[in-house]
Structure 1
């Protein structure tokens, strides 16, 4: 490749067009680096506590929001889960536990779930469901709060 072709291809990138460093200079640098002793790290100084400092209690995080919030569910989902209300996350967890327990995933295509009678009742009578459809099919079982 001629230099004009190289310049045209790499558009003047100086790192790619710079001449290669000789192996003797890099070998000498490696020896210098390995010969240098590691520097000891400075220890962190403890902060002095003022007389008025108290330990602050941890902030209470609201774990009952969004998909973690228990909401009323349909009778079909309620009979499957055994509870009158549930969070979306808990419902999906229990459905996946049922799928794993009864070995309902298609072995050839793990994204596909072969529905048994209990799941057919939840998933609009479908024989097979893609695992990404589970959340969409469950949304009709959660009663919307007004």
Structure 2
């Protein structure tokens, strides 16, 4: 019997939209890699609200990903990211 591994939803390679690729880079990435790269970008650019670390303050690159919103919660962010992955 062959041992086949199924890839789960977090490991499946997905293609980011042009807006998301501007932040995470072009090419296929897993959902987990996208979230990791987004958090790296957020921390590198100090985009967390200092008064509420669960809130992300969008800069010019993140606004198109967050559908024009200035601020999103870390939980809401995942909903927006899903809409930019195919």
Q: Is the TM-score greater than 0.5?
A: yes
Instruction: State yes or no: 1:102 paired with 2:33.
Output: no
Q: Which runs of 5+ in 2 are unaligned?
A: none
Per-residue deviation, 1:82: 1.5
Q: TM-score, normalised by structure 1?
A: 0.52
Q: Which runs of 5+ in 1 are unaligned?
A: 1-59
How has the CA–CA distance of structure 1 residues 92 and 63 changed in structure 2, closer, same or farther, with 3 Å as cutoff? farther
How many pairs does the alignment contain? Answer: 84
CA RMSD in angstroms, aligned pairs only: 1.8
Residues 39-83 of structure 1 deviation map (CA, whole Å, 9 limit, x = unaligned): xxxxxxxxxxxxxxxxxxxxx784743111111221221232222
Correspondence for 1:136: 79
Q: Contact 1:70–1:86 at 8 Å: present in 2 too?
A: yes
Instruction: State yes or no: 1:93 paired with 2:36.
Output: yes
Name the structure, 1 or 2, with higher relative contact order (CA <8 Å, separation 6+): 2
**Large movers: runs of 4+ above 4 Å:** none
Q: What is the 5 A alignment of 1:1-146?
A: 62=5, 64-143=7-86
Bigger radius of gyration:
1
Q: Contact 1:75–1:84 at 8 Å: present in 2 too?
A: no
Q: TM-score, normalised by structure 2?
A: 0.85
Specify which structure has the higher proportion of strand: 2
Specify which structure has the higher proportion of helix: 1
